[in-house]
Amino acid sequence: MTPHQRLNRWIEEITSLCEPDAVQLCDGSPEEYQQMMASLTATGVAKPLNPEKRPNSFLVRSDPADVARVESRTFICSDNEQDAGPTNHWADPNEMKAKLTGLFKGCMRGRTMYVIPFSMGPVGSPIAHIGVEISDSPYVVASMHIMTRVGRAVLEELGTDGDFVPCLHSVGQPLQSGDTGAAWPCNPDNLYIAHFPASREIWSFGSGYGGNALLGKKCFALRIASAMARDEGWLAEHMLILKLTNPDGEYRYIAGAFPSACGKTNLAMLVPTIPGWSVETVGDDICWMKFGDDGQLYAINPEAGFFGVAPGTGMDTNPNAMQTLDGNCIFTNVAETDDGDVWWEGMTDTAPAHLIDWRGNDWTPDSDTPAAHPNARFTVSAAQCPAIADEWEDLKGVPISAILFGGRRASVVPLVNEATSWEQGTFFGSIVASEKTAAAAGAIGELRRDPMAMLPFCGYNMADYWQHWINIGQTANAKLPKIYYVNWFRKDLEGQFVWPGFGENARVLEWIFERCAGRADAVETPIGHLPTLDALNFDGLDLTEDAIATLLRVDIQGWLAEIPLIESYYQQFGTNVPPALFDQLQRLSERLEAAAVNVA
């Protein structure tokens, strides 16, 4: 079937196990994509949209039991449970393989088995890696066409003996003779997304949706790739990549990790409000970084498309995303308008008078349920984004000058804070948190820690992952990016956001840019380097002196109150926590205590 004998043996093995009616080796061609969409349309799962409104675009409705990633059914199958760590669900690899082998036996009867060779990253890049997904879902094939590089060029790059990550997927619903099955087949009662870091394998059963089924996305690009990166000395991160250019034409590349609901995609496609500055998108979700010969970290976006959350996306929040969606899209679980287009909450200020909701039911603004599912998605080629950087597919990657970490904090964390070292930056990344409950200024709400925004995506023990970051910082002759801890979500005593956010975040990026260039001023504080009042551009913003003070104040008592919370958080990882992080915590505590005495 292919020139690669190990790949051929694996295909034969899975064919024998899953017993499909036919096997198709995917070539990545436009004709193949249209074949998949025609198949989905014929079975009723996909509906072509009005070509005058949204050319070559489709609306897909999934089964209501299969609408999102299922973290509770996602497993790291390492040889030792300690290697998975307390934040992952662990399963014994031999037991999981035996269980899944039983489920996969005959699971593709009545269906076609698609073999999808794909590259994560531009084909031929030294930072890219290859996977092969076997799936019985035309929706997966079509989506992988958009989200990865699929087809003959990948097989040519793989050659006769190249490495690849085997990714096995089935919706888990075989067909009896003459049975057409459900429009959206799935098997939520037997749902498993299993990762085997030692053998670099992924087995997924029972879901046809998103990151459960598009195995190049979170499964390969983060969970398996993070284990590969640990073993090989690079970084696989849940980060955006943007290109920032100043009025003089100087540019720098910035990566950023933000948990959900923290404006990550909006930042990746930012439209700056300050004259002369521009932001271009390299990636909106995942970043792979490897050291170049010059000691710098070079990054690629391993994905070829955007699999974005639709609700909340509109012209006011992300005009570049909206313009990207003008055509050639797959929309999943959004609402349908009467004229054959799509709609979701946040697309417009006012909802249409009538819609067909994501379940296929009539909907009006008086309905009790949302028109689009909260996790409704758009799948679209990144090449269509009007803000995409010319070099987004550069084989060597782009050099990263700065890395941002940020959560959603109403209190304590200032607008922007520069780490004094890579080690302190790693510490900041390890304590990233968002508040689950509203918090008044100076108080700490209930915190959900999401270190480096990798909590659901790290393929091994999170504490060992922190050690890997520290090890990266000790690489000989490395020219490391500066690290920043940012917070767009500080609130005042009335509970109102102090910082306007969105396009105004370019003002913070401007200071970071100038810091990387050695031109912007900062003041040394107990928590790191903060901008001086003159260094951050507040021109044209309607901010009072009190508001600016709130944004840039070091909340000594707030930080002191958080020290024991951080210590308690670290303790759940036991002896795996790097001593360097406890040292950072201790030194932070000592500096804050000294500052508190001076204030008193």
How many other C-beta atoms can be found within 10 angstroms of the C-beta atom of residue 548?
17
Residue whose C-alpha is closest to residue 325's, from 56, 48, 38, 35:
56
* H/E segment holding residue 330: strand 330-332
Angle between helices 579-599 and 556-571 (to 10 degrees): 160
The string of pLDDT tens digits covering residues 387-406 is 999 999 999 999 999 999 99
Cα separations (Å) of 186 from 71, 108, 242? 17, 12, 37
User: What pLDDT does 445 receive?
Assistant: 67
Between CA 283 and CA 279 the distance in angstroms is 12
Average confidence (pLDDT) over 552-564: 96
Residue 443's pLDDT is 60
Q: What is the mean pLDDT of residues 69-89?
A: 97
Indicate the residue type of 579.
P
Question: Is 262 a known active-site residue?
Answer: yes
HEC profile of 168-232: EEECCCCCCCCCCCCCCCCCHHHCEEEEECCCCEEEEECCCCHHHHCCHHHHHHHHHHHHHHHHH
Q: What is the mean pLDDT of the segment spanning 46-54? A: 98
pTM above the 0.95 mark? Answer: yes
**How far apart are alpha carbons 236 and 283 in whole angstroms?**
13
pLDDT of 263: 87
Active-site hit among 262, 329, 458, 516 = 262
Which pLDDT value is given to residue 437?
60
Which long-range contacts does 443-448 make (Cβ < 8 Å, 24+ apart)? 443/411, 443/558, 444/411, 444/412, 444/558, 444/561, 444/562, 444/565, 445/410, 445/411, 447/565, 448/259
Backbone angles phi, psi at 484, to 5 degrees: -130, 145
Distance CA 121, CA 132 (A): 14
What does the pLDDT read at residue 49?
Answer: 98
All structural domains of the chain, each given as residue ranges with its CATH number in brackets, are: 5-47+73-233 (3.40.449.10), 237-304+393-599 (3.90.228.20), 306-384 (2.170.8.10)
pLDDT at 348 over 80: yes
pLDDT digits (tens, 9 = 90+) for 423-455: 999 999 999 999 876 555 556 668 999 999 999
With b for 16 or more beta-carbon neighbours within 10 A and e for fewer, the 70-96 pattern comes to beebbbbbbeeebbbbebbebbebeeb
